[in-house]
Structures are given as C-alpha cells and as structure tokens.
Amino acid sequence: MSLSNGGLELDWGGETLLICPEKAVFWKKRKALFVADTHFGKAATFRKSGIPVPETSSRDDCLLLEKLVSRTKAETLVFLGDFLHAREGRTEEVRLDLIAWRKRLPKLELHLVRGNHDLRSGDPWPELGIQCHPEPWREYEFELRHHPVERSSKPYLAGHIHPGFALREKGGTSLRAPCFQVGEERIILPAFGDFTGLRKVVPGEGDRIFMTDGREVLEVPARGWKSITPNEKRKV
C-alpha cells in the first residue's frame, strides 16, 4: 500500500486500486473511476417538502467530480447507485447543473448501476448519456453493485449504506468522517454526495477502515475500533 495525491494505493482482489480522499475509488489499469450515492436533487426534494435548503450541493458535487476526473485522467465514470435522490428532485435546476457538467466532460464514458433510489426516481435524463445497468454489473474483473451482499461469486464494489466511522478521545470529544469499509471480498464506498449523512459502521472480521476528510485518506488501526461503544454497535 502506498500514498498517492492524498489517497492510498491498495492491492485488492488481484488489482491495484487508489482510494481517493474525495470518496471515490480509481482503477488506473482501466482508467475507471467509481463513486456511490451522489443523491443529486436531494436538496430540491427537501425544499418541496417545505424545508429551506439551498441547491448548491448538486453544483458543488459536480465541480468536485470534474476535478477528480481531471486529476485521475479517468476515461470511465461508474456511479454505484442512487444517482438521483427522488422523483421530486428532478427539477430543471438540477437538470441544467448536470447537463452543464456533462458538456464539460463530453468524452467521459458514464455508467450507472441502479440502486433503490434510482428505481423510484427513474433513470437520469437522456442528455447525460449515462448507460444504466441492473446490479450486479459484471463488466470488469470484479462485480459492481449498489447493495452490499453477504455472498458474491466475485469480489465487488458497492455503496448504499453511506459508511462512516467515529473515533473518540479520552476527553470525550469525537471525530466522525466518511469511510471506506474494505474486506477481502468487497469494498463499500462512502456516499459521494455532500448532502447525504453518515451511518456509523462496525467493522467485521478481516475488515479495514479508511477514513477521509476530503483531503487525505487515513487507515484506522484495529485498536482504534475500540472507540465504538457497545450502545453504538446496537444502533448499526
């Protein structure tokens, strides 16, 4: 494992992957970038329910994706489910933000592995040129999913649970951040969308936890897992 631009190179499933601080995984061999749970239009969905939330989150996430594609020189971008948050979030403002982003990256190949929110919100607008697939999508040496599963015929990448981790200091203060939950047979990516929240995870046997603050990826040593209280374990 080695450092690269704030991320960590990880040997996994017979391949070398880059865990990016921007909550993405990059596969240099295939020039493919993977993100999960963008939930575009979530703020718009809240506003339709009477909650005053600005829509800058979708625009900011588009800009971050654009910078990430430029930095990695990715030729393919795969969304691991929940591209749009809800049908109510399919507003003209969100559509125009995404189309503007797409026009700035016209040669980028886009794929979506449908998640539970995609089944309710519908496929992305045709102008975005995103190829949509049911899960699991077996295009590569490993499977691409939205939902994690206990058993799979091949190692896989997934999202869905918005994994996060908490470290607690002796003084009572704590640090919560998105994380990658890495096992021998699967990698669960944190939610890429900024307006998505976290679910604290409890590592299983053989798991590794990589926290990110958006600038740097840090592996949490196993002794740091003890910072999770028994009460928190029951909530997961």
- All domains in the chain, ordered by first residue: 2-235 (3.60.21)
- For 53-84, write each residue's pLDDT tens digit: 666 678 889 999 999 999 999 999 999 999 98
- For 128-166, write each residue's pLDDT tens digit: 999 999 999 999 999 999 999 988 889 999 999 999 998
Arithmetic mean of pLDDT, 27-49: 83
Whether pLDDT at 177 is above 70? yes
Q: Are 37 and 115 in contact (CB under 8 A)?
A: yes
Instruction: Give the model's pLDDT for residue 204.
Output: 84
Distances (CA, A) of 21 to 7, 124, 231: 6, 26, 29
pLDDT category of residue 120 using cuts at 50, 70 and 90: confident
Instruction: Give the model's pLDDT for residue 30.
Output: 96
pLDDT category of residue 200 using cuts at 50, 70 and 90: confident
Arithmetic mean of pLDDT, 9-36: 96
Whether pLDDT at 39 is above 70? yes
Average pLDDT, the chain: 85
Instruction: Give the model's pLDDT for residue 20.
Output: 97
Instruction: Give the model's pLDDT for residue 63.
Output: 94
In percent, the amount of the chain with pLDDT more than 90 equals 60
Judged by average pLDDT, the poorest of 117-121, 123-127, 209-213 is 117-121
Whether pLDDT at 95 is above 80? yes
Reading the block at residue 43, the tokens are 């703020």
Identify the H or E element spanning 90. Answer: none
Distance CA 51, CA 56 (A): 15
Instruction: Give the model's pLDDT for residue 202.
Output: 83
pLDDT category of residue 117 using cuts at 50, 70 and 90: confident
Q: Are 132 and 84 in contact (CB under 8 A)?
A: no
Instruction: Give the model's pLDDT for residue 69.
Output: 97
